[in-house]
Amino acid sequence: MKKTTLLPSGLRRLVPGLLLLLLFSSQGWGQETITPIRTDVSGFSTWTDIDIGGTTYLQLLKATAVTITPSMDFSIYTSETLNFKARTYGGTNEVENTVYIDITEDNGLSWTNIGNRVPTTNSLNAMSLFDLSSYNGTQVKLRFSVLGTSNSIGVGIDDISITGVLSITDTDPPLLLSTIPADGSSDINISTVLSLTFNENIVKGSGNISVYNASDVLIEAVDVSTEAVTITDATAVVDLFSDLSAGETYYVMVDATAFTDIAGNPYAGIANSTDWNFSTSATLSSDATLTDLQVDGTTIAGFDAGTVAYDVELPYGTTTVPTVTYTLSDATATVIQTDAASLPGTTSVEVTAQDSTTKKDYRINFTVAAPSSEATLTSASYTVDDGNETLTDIPYGTTLADFKAALTPATGAAFEVYLADGTTLATDLLSGYKVVVTAQDGTTQKTYTLTVNEPVIDLFFSEYIEGSSNNKALEIYNPTGADVDLSAYSVKLATNGASWGTIKCRHSGYYRCRGHYLGCGQF
């Protein structure tokens, strides 16, 4: 018996009591996959995985790591084999790197070991195959496991393939399950395509799919060998060359030789006017309007179904063409959307009504705003005078970082703080320094001159009261808005320009804000 190139394992059909995998080629019958090849860790929900690691191939690193195949019916196959790839993982250790294969015929109640394989490299390589033909006529599962205990050294396996030679011949023709339009349907679009879905995969045969009107006049005959007929698995789609007429009844006939299954069994065809008939819509819509037109998910300002031209200015620096979406007023209309190739540019949404005559071409003209020449500042903390180009009311002691953080330049503009020369970058903050603002256009500039408030002296002598001997007095004033702790102050005396001498008096407590204090002593 020859082995042949396999067709996809998805070519399956039901025959009474059995699931067949059909293979047809010019060479004869050959090996067929009995269950889908295990090519990944995820996506195989019919397998049982316990303590399996990995993402692209299965990793078995400890004694509890097990993967078990789904149940397989060997009653319709002969010459069954098992093939897989394996590699070492985490290091080389024959005990840890050995993968054991067991088989069960009673759905896992008992297992029989049929051998093991020991990969010798850390690359996935094909292991020698297992002959499973002694299990013909049974339902089996296979189990892969290791006996390792390190939990870090073990085996990686991939591409687990169980194949056999199909031993049953397909003699049943394909059966038609459904059509589009459905038999007996009405109000069908005149631009409809025809679709036939069968109970198994099909291929093109020879002959025509023919459309007739209620007067038995042939409207169109489509040769199945042309590109107008496409087949995907079990579905054939027929693209008619022209639209049907509105308000008419039609029926479809299919030649008995038009389609066959993979084994070559022909579809019986449709040879009457009753099995597949439908009627088209009596009137055709002339509605070619939109109910919504959006740019990047937001409805265009001022959108109206009757207005077809819109101008949208995008922010300076935009380089990506916006995404335009729309909503049809009538779902039977068709649309051709042509997006702008670059900016500036125009995206068009051309709507054609069901009547194929009424059209509306909605156009969105995109432009990009020129860079701003605005070179101003605002601040919630300081006084900004754009006319005089000054920044004032800056508290004494403000750091450069805090100062910059309290300034907001115009959109797209940037600023920097310089010394009074306007060219040397500042590292502190003093009166006379400059803030230079450069507009978004990179050219326009405005220079603000800074005024930092003078430091506030908490207390000062406000008046001297002359007297004699020990009844002279000095009045001290607190000009601040807060009480001052007197314990931090002292009064000293210097006579006739000499150095500061003896502390004459020391005070404690708090000196009230805006208050006066009269100190007496011998001066």
pLDDT tens digit sequence for 146-182: 998 888 999 999 999 999 998 777 789 999 999 999 9
Digit-coded pLDDT (tens) for 420-432? 999 999 999 999 9
> Is the residue at 405 inside a domain?
yes
Digit-coded pLDDT (tens) for 396-419? 889 999 999 999 999 999 999 999
Residue 252: the pLDDT is 98
> Is the residue at 6 inside a domain?
no
Report the C-alpha gap between 202 and 218 in whole angstroms.
Answer: 26
Q: Does 133 lie in the same domain as 67?
A: yes
Residue 515: the pLDDT is 53
The CATH number of whichever domain residue 256 belongs to comes to 2.60.40.1220
Residue 5: the pLDDT is 32
Residue 26: the pLDDT is 32
Q: Does 272 lie in the same domain as 298?
A: no
Q: Does 226 lie in the same domain as 88?
A: no
> What average pLDDT does range 344-349 have in this prediction?
98
Percent of the chain with pLDDT over 90: 72
Residue 508: the pLDDT is 56
How sure is the predictor about 391, in pLDDT bands with cuts at 50, 70 and 90? Answer: very high
**Which has more pLDDT, 482 or 450?**
450
> Is the residue at 171 inside a domain?
no
The CATH number of whichever domain residue 36 belongs to comes to 2.60.120.260
Q: Which residue has the tokens 């589009």?
A: 180
Amino acid at 53: G
Q: Given 421, 452, 483, which residue is the final one in a domain? A: 452
The pTM assigned to this predicted structure is: 0.38
State both tokens at 404: 């910059």
> What average pLDDT does range 269-279 have in this prediction?
97
Residue 295: the pLDDT is 98
Residue 39: the pLDDT is 95
Residue 481: the pLDDT is 63
Q: Does 141 lie in the same domain as 89?
A: yes
Digit-coded pLDDT (tens) for 100-122? 999 999 999 999 999 999 999 99
Residue 509: the pLDDT is 56
In this model, does residue 480 exceed pLDDT 80? no
> What average pLDDT does range 321-331 have in this prediction?
96
Q: Does 466 lie in the same domain as 443?
A: no
Report the C-alpha gap between 153 and 133 in whole angstroms.
Answer: 33
The CATH number of whichever domain residue 295 belongs to comes to 2.60.40
DSSP 353: -
Q: Does 125 lie in the same domain as 83?
A: yes
Cα separation values, 492 from 121, 464, 500, 503, Å: 92, 15, 6, 5
Residue 10: the pLDDT is 37
Q: Which domain holds residue 102?
A: 12-166
How sure is the predictor about 512, in pLDDT bands with cuts at 50, 70 and 90? Answer: low
Q: Which of 113, 118, 116 is nearest to 153 (CA)?
A: 118
> Is the residue at 7 inside a domain?
no
In this model, does residue 523 exceed pLDDT 70? no
Q: Does 17 lie in the same domain as 136?
A: yes
Domain count across the chain: 5
In this model, does residue 513 exceed pLDDT 60? no
Positive or negative: CA dihedral 273, 277, 282, 284: negative
Q: Does 154 lie in the same domain as 22?
A: yes
Cα separation values, 224 from 69, 175, 209, 259, Å: 42, 18, 7, 8
Percent of the chain with pLDDT over 70: 86
Report the C-alpha gap between 127 and 115 in whole angstroms.
Answer: 12
Judged by DSSP in three states, 252 sits in strand
**Which has more pLDDT, 128 or 29?**
128
Q: Does 190 lie in the same domain as 159?
A: no
Q: Which residues contact 26 (CB under 8 A, 6 or more apart)?
A: none
Report the C-alpha gap between 393 and 452 in whole angstroms.
Answer: 6
Q: Does 219 lie in the same domain as 153?
A: no
How sure is the predictor about 489, in pLDDT bands with cuts at 50, 70 and 90? Answer: low
Q: Which residues contact 49 (CB under 8 A, 6 or more apart)?
A: 41, 58, 66, 67
Residue 21: the pLDDT is 36
> Is the residue at 467 inside a domain?
yes
Mean pLDDT of the chain: 87
Cα separation values, 95 from 17, 57, 458, Å: 44, 20, 86
> Is the residue at 444 inside a domain?
yes
> What average pLDDT does range 510-516 have in this prediction?
52
Residue 30: the pLDDT is 66
> Is the residue at 242 inside a domain?
yes
Digit-coded pLDDT (tens) for 51-99? 999 999 999 999 999 999 999 989 888 999 999 999 999 999 999 999 9
Residue 189: the pLDDT is 87
How sure is the predictor about 213, in pLDDT bands with cuts at 50, 70 and 90? Answer: very high
How many residues in the chain? 523
Q: Does 296 lie in the same domain as 261?
A: no
Residue 98: the pLDDT is 96
> What average pLDDT does range 200-224 have in this prediction?
96
> Is the residue at 4 inside a domain?
no
In this model, does residue 522 exceed pLDDT 90? no
Q: Does 465 lie in the same domain as 411?
A: no
Report the C-alpha gap between 94 and 147 in whole angstroms.
Answer: 11
